Structures are given as structure tokens and as C-alpha cells.
Amino acid sequence: MQHPLDLTYAGISGWLILLIIGVISLGFFGFQVQKATRLILLGSKDDRFDSWSKRLKETATVWLGQAKVLEDPIAGGFHVMMFWGFLMLSSDMLDLASGNAFSEYLLPDALHGIWNLMVEVGYTSALIGCTLALSRRVLFTPEKLKGKSQVEGNAILLLIMTICTTAFVVEAGESPNPTTEFFGAWVASTFVITQLLVNIAYWLHMLAICTFLFLIPVSKHMHLVMALPNVFFFDTQAKGKMRPMQVDENGTAVPLEDLDTETFGASQFSELSWRSLIDGWACTSCARCQDVCPAYASGKPLNPMQIIHDVRDYANEHAGLLLKGQSPEEDMISRFGEEAIWACTTCNACVEACPVNIEHVPKLTDARRHLMMERMEFAPEVEDTVMPLMAMIENLESDSNPYGIPMHERGDWAADLDVKVAEPAEYIYFAGCAASFDERNKKVARDTISIMKEAGLDVGILGMQEGCTGDAARRAGNEYLFQMLAETNLATFEELGVKKIVASCPHCFHTLGTEYKDFGGQDIEVMHHSQLIDHLQKEGKLPAPKHEGNITYHDPCYLGRIGGETAAPRDVIGGVDIETENHGKSSFCCGAGGAQMWMEEHVDDDHERVNIIRAKELASTGADTVAVGCPFCSTMVTDGLTSIESQMKVKDIAEIVWEQIKANDKKIQATKVAV
């Protein structure tokens, strides 16, 4: 049987026909890819050429291994079958397009059997994956896809199925080996394979590929091209870490007095980094980020997937102006929408869920920087949301705490604890603003100090010399105020020789331990109080952990997902009796992060506040007590449980541990009296 390329059709050579449609489709594909690349390269500089070993490992696991895709076992499984199938069958496309020149002249004879088997498995895997995915979309439509157009996705799946089935027909006309070309051999033995049938299958195969090349760059399937660089150039820095306004040649933040930057944040397309712009073309539209976003769940205008789509849509719509170096009248803030920008809790659930390492949060925090530091004016629809935030900023500027309480009262909570104040000590307990001024959280600070003293540690506090870490200011966009607070705190640490810090607030833990490293805090060890207590228990300096009653645990975003610590808080209280549906790195936000604690939350009648959504999930466990490890989570969860009239108690892990220690001491005393 002749190869279809060696035949003529209406007097036209098959090779010429393939050349024409190939040049057209490849030319269009190449033009669109280079256009997208040029748009991406308009972005600001971003050094992503470090840590090559980490990047190669990430590429191997996340892109090639599809590790994050498989976190959704159903949809992810179908996608992996198609992805790996395409990798295996891709060389056969070259072989078919070259009239079998690849297999006959380039491929060593010894590899023919292995190659045929690989290609066969690839086509089979891709076909099965597409069939299952299409069936799911049409017959068992997921809730998040209902009401949305599925034409594009279904068309792509049908094209891939066409590519696979026609390949088997062409293969059947070439005397396939039953062992290595099992599907083609089955087709050959089941159907009558004629030259005409092979010709039709071949040209359908090629037309499907050429159509696919047309659709890839103008659809969400551009991720087939951009997902690889997106994963490779992932952020190797600590999760959730924001970048300084300006850094020197060593990557260290430039001191405030030496700053010479002219712009703050990002409002224009070109002010987003080139790596941030790749996200727009790498998105698979899987909606996993949407599914885990607390702002979206509570009905706010923020959809993290739409933010990423906005980047690409904006670029395509304004490509002519952007590529000429001009700025469109519409900027990125207008495209995102201020309501969406201010709704983010910076919990990073979207980033954690994304299978291709898209970085949603920096786009929103960069927009906040511009709004806060350059415009200082807000759209009417967000004014009542942001005004309380501005009051918090003013309090930070005047009193270094968001409550506006005089600084000299910052250490009053520890007045009778016989603890060092503003003196050198092995461990400095950084109380943070909530534990210093909020009555409910003062008890957490007192219990933490008591635990540390019980273990015989040399512990001190900074008292009125302690200032806010600046987390809320930074997340709200006031980077200048954040850096001022950071430089002040670091000067205090240096003066007192602080080397070890313990914080019961995950926001302080993250800011001091991760973000201060850019400003000179590289040599300071920062621990969350759960980590220290866990260490002391394992060393035998504190009693073995246990608890009474039925306990669940709420993972704070900045400790669990962002800080990576999920085990210590559970271990120090003797384990958790029942977990919430969303826990660990998949925990659902309490609603306070991203400076939301200081903003007014508005929801419509069809939705609930973030903390109420979480409170209902916690209450559904049936536990008696919710253990927490964050002062803001404590407040938000307590308020949420009160709103739904739940009788669950909310206790910080330090309170639970200190109760255990006191109960244990009473038992020891009772035993001594009895003796």
C-alpha cells in the first residue's frame, strides 16, 4: 500500500498539499507564539535564572511528572493520560509528515520495536483520556462548568481523538506488529483497510493537527506552550514572600534613605514582571484557584482565574499599542477592578492549588502598592471598604500598632510575669500587636511566656521597644511604611543582640523570619510558638502532650500553607481528634489576612462572610474545641462561631498546653499531699 504523500490528488502532489497546509498552520502558530513572547518580554525585569537544580527538579515533578495536576485524581488523571500520551506520540507526527523518513532513515533499527510500542501506548493513552474527559464534560458536567461555554474545550478533545483514531487506521495499512502496534493490528484485523480509507485517515490526521496548531495560540490551550517556562521559572523564594521596592546588586533591600525609585507597584502592563506575564498564557482554565479562593466563595468580585485571564486578554486587545511602546488608556488596575484587588486575603490558596505554578497574589499586591503609594485615591465602590484600613495605616505611623494605643503600653500585659524587658536574653518573645493590646490575646502571650519559663528558658520581651512588623501595611500596599517599621525593629534587634525570636502570630512569624531577611535579618532564627513548644516537649523539658475533650484544629494560612508548618501545632496538644474537610496546606482562610482584618467586609444576601463559611466547616466536625495558632484566626473564628450560635470553644494551642501543665502540676501536688 502506497504512502498517501506519494500519491497525487487532482494532479497535485501529496507532498505539495502537505507543504501548503503545513506552512500556513505552522506559520500562523509561529506568528502567534512570537507575538505572545514579545508581549511577555515587555514586562519588567525579574531575576529567575538562579537555583538551576531547583528549577530542573520542579520541572521534572510539576511539568513532566504532573504532580500537582494529579492532586485532582479524576480530571487530573484524564489530563495526565493526554499529556503523557502526546509526549509519547509526538515523534510519530513527524514520521507521518515526513513520509516515514524518520522511522526508516533516522531511527536505528534496534529501537524500532521500542519506538513503535511507545507511540502505540501514547495514542491509546491520549484517546482514552480524551474520551473520558469528553464524557465527563458532556454527561457529568462539573458544577463549575455548568452555564459556561464548552465549545472550545470539546472541540479540542474531538480534534485529539481524531488525531489518535486516524493514526490507528493509517498504521493498520502498514502491516502493524501485533505486539508493539497492538491497536493498529486490531484495526487491521477487524476492518477492511483500503488505500482510499488510509488516504482519508491520513489527510484527516494532518488536517486535525493543522487545525490544532491554529487553535492552540488563540485559546486556553496556549498553556501547552507556556506551561513549561512558567513552571521552570517558578519563584524559588519562600512562599508568600513579597519583594522590596528596590534591591542592590546583592539582592538586599535598598535602605529608605537611599531609595531612588520613581514608581511604586504596578498599574501598567509593562510594570508587571515578565514572569508574571507568562502566567496569562500558561493558565489551563482548570478553575482550581477559583474553587479554593475565600473571596470568591464569599461572593466578592475577585476570581483569581479571571485575574490571570485578564492579563492575557488585556495584552491581546491592546497588542498594537503595547508593542509600539505606548500605554493604552485602560490600565491593568481598571481591568482587574479595584473591588477585586482589595478583596484578596493573600492566603495563597490559589497559588498552592495551581497545577502550573501561576502566581496570582503578587499581581494584586503590586496593584495595591500603586493605589496606596501613588494614587492615594480609591474608586467609590471601595471607599467604605478601604477607609478603616487607612485609619489602621495612620495608627501604625503614629503608634506602631494598628489599634492606635500609645507605645508605652505595649508591654503592660507582662507586668507581673517577672520577665526581662528590653534586655538581652536567649529567647525574645515577640508578642505582636494583637497579643500586646487585644484583651483576648493577651492571655495567649502570658501563657506562652509561662510555658517558656516552665521549661527553664532565658526569655525576654521588647516591651515598648517592640514595633509592629508591618505585615498589614505591606499587604495593604504601603511598602514605605512597612520598610520603615522593619528597619526600626531590626535596629532594635541589633542593639539587644537578638538571635532567637518566638512569635505566636503567624504573620509576625512569616514577616520576621522570611521577609526581614531582605532587610538585614538573615541571622535571626524565628520560631512559631508551636514549634518551640514541640521542641521542648520532645526534649523532655515539658510534659508529654495530651488533651481532654474533642478537639479540631484550624490551620492559619501564614503558618500552614505559607509557612509549611502543620505538624507542630497538632503534636503539642496531643493530636487532633477530628480534622476539618479543608485542613493542613489546604485549609480554608479565616478571612483576616491581606490586611482584611482592618477592612470592612461586604457580602450580598446570597453569600456569607469568609469567617462564617469557615466557622460552619469547623462546627460540622462536632468537636468541642477549636485549637488555633494565630490571634487573628482566634478573633475571626470566634466571631464566626458566635454568628452561627455554635457553643464550640476557641483556644490557642498555648492555652491548651498551659492548661495541661497546670493540671499535671495539680496532680503532682495532690500525690505529694496523699503521701
pLDDT digits (tens, 9 = 90+) for 142-174: 777 666 667 888 899 999 999 999 999 999 999
Handedness of CA 335, 269, 375, 302 (dihedral sign): positive
Q: How much is the average pLDDT of 300-314?
A: 97
Residue 279: predicted pLDDT: 98
Residue 144: predicted pLDDT: 72
pLDDT in tens, 13-39: 999 999 999 999 999 999 999 999 999
Identity of residue 602: H
CA–CA separation, 62 vs 68, rounded Å?
Answer: 6
What are the C-alpha distances in Å from 386 to residues 261, 363, 383, 460?
26, 19, 5, 36
pLDDT confidence of 672, banded at 50, 70, 90? Answer: low
Identity of residue 276: S
DSSP three-state, residue 553: strand
Q: How much is the average pLDDT of 495-514?
A: 97
CA–CA separation, 568 vs 533, rounded Å?
Answer: 8
The answer to whether residue 243 scores a pLDDT higher than 70 is yes
| Of 377 and 240, the one with more pLDDT | 240
Nearest alpha-carbon partner for 129 in 80, 165, 71, 163: 80
User: In sequence order, what are the beta bridge partners of 652?
Assistant: 628
Highest mean pLDDT range out of 379-388, 474-483, 545-554? 474-483
Q: Please name the residues in contact with 368: beta carbons below 8 A apart, sequence gap of 6 or more.
A: 265, 341, 342, 475, 476, 477
The answer to whether residue 670 scores a pLDDT higher than 70 is no
Q: Residue 418: how many CB atoms within 10 A of its CB?
A: 8
Residue 204: predicted pLDDT: 97
The answer to whether residue 177 scores a pLDDT higher than 90 is yes
Identity of residue 447: D
The answer to whether residue 138 scores a pLDDT higher than 80 is yes
Residue 442: predicted pLDDT: 96
The count of C-alpha atoms lying within 13 angstroms of the C-alpha of 33, restricted to the half-sphere facing its C-beta, is 16
Tell me the pLDDT of the chain averaged across its residues.
94
The answer to whether residue 523 scores a pLDDT higher than 60 is yes
CA–CA separation, 231 vs 83, rounded Å?
Answer: 15
pLDDT in tens, 350-385: 999 999 999 999 999 999 999 999 988 889 999 999
Q: In the structure grid, which three cell numbers stand for residue 297, read together?
A: 466563595
Residue 666: predicted pLDDT: 73
Q: How much is the average pLDDT of 242-254?
A: 91
Residue 137: predicted pLDDT: 82
How would DSSP label each residue in 390-423?
Answer: HHHHHHHHHHSSTT---GGGTTGGGTTS--EESS
CA angle 561, 563, 567 (to 5 degrees): 80
% of the chain surpassing 90 pLDDT: 90
pLDDT confidence of 669, banded at 50, 70, 90? Answer: low
The answer to whether residue 674 scores a pLDDT higher than 60 is no
Question: What angle, 0 to 180 degrees and rounded to 10, lies between the N-to-C axes of helices 274-282 and 223-232?
Answer: 140
Q: In the structure grid, which three cell numbers stand for residue 535, read together?
A: 521542641
The dihedral region occupied by 645, where left means phi > 0, alpha psi between -120 and 50, and beta the remainder, is: left
What kind and span of H or E run contains 279?
helix 274-282
CA–CA separation, 382 vs 340, rounded Å?
Answer: 10
Nearest alpha-carbon partner for 302 in 610, 14, 674, 629: 610
Residue 673: predicted pLDDT: 56
